[in-house]
Chain A
Amino acid sequence: MAETLLALHGLRKSFGGLLVTDDVTLDVRQGEIHALIGPNGAGKTTLIHQVSGTLAPDAGRIRFLGEDITTLSMPARARRGLARSFQITSVVPSFSALENAALAVQARRGSSLRFFRAASREAALNAEAMDALAEVGLDARAATPAAALSHGERRQLEIAIALAMQPRALLLDEPLAGTGPEEAERLIRLLSGLRARYAVLLVEHDMQAVFALADRISVLAQGRVIATGTPDQIRADAAVREAYLGEDEAA
């Protein structure tokens, strides 16, 4: 069985009186896409925030590559190889697509306490950045400022940046959000190809994408994991169907 890279044990998080994450335990293995689904308000994004380091859990532990990272800051987790993409695109608007990716490369290659050379002319950084852009199909738009990219292109850039970090695990928060059918298909093909190199925790609402991509699915409802299994197992699970009763399953 493949190595477990990311493991969550008994995570718990409350906001005031509201329990948003309730004893969540799941793991993500090397080479798998583990999808996290659930009705609106289930607490998926809050969970991703806790894994990436934006929010601190009230209880529970997170292990990554064998190390307990529960108390580490977001930058520290990123440096250890845990990359995250955001549900609402988060890029540096005035930087070009290339420079956005180059910044990600710079984060892991050597020191950023370099003061005299122009970073934009560092061939090594640019080459790796270009590779990441090419992988998502954005290399033709490398010189375009991120603010001028279309929404779908920015979603692609979001993934390119995560790839440029050369992480061990990817946390993808609704990468298909707001994309049209053509762009979605392109992204699905791209994500499918990522499987081999990383461990991927994928939060998505698009059920077609989830069932096409996922090796395993965990279903989150009211902060708890109510089922974990292969897509077929999840499809057949009564509790899952009950949780989604009344919810519109995306066609």
Chain B
Amino acid sequence: MRNPRLWLPLLVFVALAAAPFLGLGQGHSLTLLARGMIFGLAAVSLMLLVGGAGLVSLGHAAMMGMGAYAVVVLDHAGLTEAWMVFPAGILAAALFALLTGAIAIRTSGVHFIMITLAFGQMAFFTTSSLAVYGGDDGYTLFSRTEVFGARWLENRLVFHFVCLGALVACWALVQTLLESRFGRVLRASRENETRARALGFNPTPYRLLAYVIAGAMGGLAGVLLANATEFVAPAYLAWQRSGDLLFMVILGGLAGPHGALVGALAFVLVEEWLSHAMEHWRLVFGPLLILCVFFLRGGIVGLLRRG
């Protein structure tokens, strides 16, 4: 997974950095790109679970939701400083991941999928019932997160590069983790758990740790998402959003974390384009998804490599 494979992700990062100056600098485009990068971050973290540990989580949207609602809770209390909000969001998600992961990781296969789905649903319903934070209708932030009182994040360009920075950092982290000793144990356990155990490895603590790390990164994405939309609703935790995230991961292909990023960008762009093109765009999106699963094994990245 070394040098030759880095050209694609680096190309994507450079393109994202240059985009605002290459004609995509209007508010609407920047918002779209931010959305793409934020979901890219979440998808990259999910890839650590799916591609690395072999854990198909159908509840990753809840991790984003934890981060987003941490912003809400602090905003409601009048606290908007970045040095409080970012760690709070990340820790909230990590804690949720630890508590639910402790149960979920003891299972595998379809059990794990269903349990993560269930916990995600639990989080969804809980946020829906908290009227003080808007309940079903959602919560509008009083302001974006501030940096020592300065409202830098309200500048779209600044926000663009904050998101990009976070994305690159998380991508690098996942890439590094996968190649480390820790990642090697995860990957071996995914492919042949019996062999890993016969060597002396108990996969459970490694998987739980991966789950918490992925959750924490999801929380970071959630904090950024709250800032991007300045609005948070339980819908952010809907299981359909978890399904979207899984689709992004598989769309890109599991060769490396950059696949998830490419998948997320493609997803966000296609969704945007389709939803403007027709009212019932899901009529097309659904079958598109099915066709991708049928024919696009290896994802977009796989296609590019072959082509």
Chains A and B touch each other in the complex, with CB atoms below 8 Å apart: yes
Residues of A within 8 A of B (CB): 52, 73-76, 78-79, 83-84, 86, 90-95, 99, 103-104, 106-108, 111-120, 122, 161, 165
Q: Which B residues lie within 8 Å of A106 (CB)?
A: 181, 184-185
Expressed in whole angstroms, the Cα–Cα distance for A116 and B173 within the complex equals 8
Q: Which B residues lie within 8 Å of A86 (CB)?
A: 194-195, 198
Q: Are the CB atoms of A115 and B177 closer together than 8 Å? A: yes
Q: Which B residues lie within 8 Å of A115 (CB)?
A: 176-177, 180-182
**A119 and B179 in contact, given A103-B184, A107-B199, A107-B201 (Cβ under 8 angstroms):** yes
Q: Are the CB atoms of A90 and B195 closer together than 8 Å? A: yes
Partner of A114, one of B2, B180, B192, B201: B180
Q: Does B200 contact A (CB under 8 A)?
A: yes
Q: Which B residues lie within 8 Å of A92 (CB)?
A: 187-188, 191-192, 195
A-B contact pairs, 24 of them (CB 8 A): A52-B198, A73-B202, A75-B200, A76-B200, A78-B197, A91-B192, A92-B192, A95-B187, A95-B191, A103-B185, A106-B181, A111-B181, A112-B182, A112-B185, A112-B201, A115-B180, A115-B181, A117-B181, A118-B180, A119-B179, A119-B184, A120-B179, A161-B199, A165-B200
Q: Which A residues lie within 8 Å of B191 (CB)?
A: 92-95
10 closest A-B pairs by CB: A78-B200, A79-B200, A114-B181, A107-B199, A107-B200, A118-B179, A119-B181, A75-B202, A90-B195, A112-B181
**A84 and B198 in contact, given A91-B192, A93-B191, A118-B179 (Cβ under 8 angstroms):** yes
Expressed in whole angstroms, the Cα–Cα distance for A83 and B177 within the complex equals 28
Q: Does B231 contact A (CB under 8 A)?
A: no
Interface set, chain B 156-197, CB cutoff 8 A to A: 176-177, 179-185, 187-188, 191-192, 194-197
Q: Which B residues lie within 8 Å of A120 (CB)?
A: 179, 184
Expressed in whole angstroms, the Cα–Cα distance for A72 and B182 within the complex equals 24
Q: Which A residues lie within 8 Å of B2 (CB)?
A: 118
Q: Does B125 contact A (CB under 8 A)?
A: no
**A114 and B182 in contact, given A94-B191, A95-B188 (Cβ under 8 angstroms):** yes
Q: Does B285 contact A (CB under 8 A)?
A: no
Q: Does B13 contact A (CB under 8 A)?
A: no
CB distance from B2 to the nearest CB of A (A): 8
Q: Which B residues lie within 8 Å of A111 (CB)?
A: 181
Closest residue on chain B to residue A120 by CB atoms = B179
Closest residue on chain B to residue A54 by CB atoms = B194
Q: How many residues of B contact A (CB 8 A)?
A: 25
CB distance from B125 to the nearest CB of A (A): 35
Q: Are the CB atoms of B199 and A112 closer together than 8 Å? A: no
Expressed in whole angstroms, the Cα–Cα distance for A119 and B206 within the complex equals 16
**A75 and B197 in contact, given A114-B180, A115-B176, A119-B180 (Cβ under 8 angstroms):** yes
Q: Which A residues lie within 8 Å of B184 (CB)?
A: 99, 103, 106, 112, 119-120
Partner of A113, one of B182, B192, B198: B182
Expressed in whole angstroms, the Cα–Cα distance for A108 and B191 within the complex equals 20
Expressed in whole angstroms, the Cα–Cα distance for A144 and B182 within the complex equals 22
Q: Are the CB atoms of A103 and B182 closer together than 8 Å? A: no
Expressed in whole angstroms, the Cα–Cα distance for A74 and B176 within the complex equals 29
CB distance from A147 to the nearest CB of B (A): 10
Q: Are the CB atoms of A165 and B180 closer together than 8 Å? A: no
Q: Which B residues lie within 8 Å of A108 (CB)?
A: 200
Partner of A104, one of B183, B197, B199: B199
Q: Are the CB atoms of B201 and A75 closer together than 8 Å? A: yes
Expressed in whole angstroms, the Cα–Cα distance for A77 and B114 within the complex equals 32
Q: Are the CB atoms of A116 and B199 closer together than 8 Å? A: no
Expressed in whole angstroms, the Cα–Cα distance for A93 and B209 within the complex equals 24
Expressed in whole angstroms, the Cα–Cα distance for A107 and B191 within the complex equals 17
Q: Which B residues lie within 8 Å of A83 (CB)?
A: 198
Expressed in whole angstroms, the Cα–Cα distance for A240 and B194 within the complex equals 34
Closest residue on chain B to residue A171 by CB atoms = B198
CB distance from B144 to the nearest CB of A (A): 32
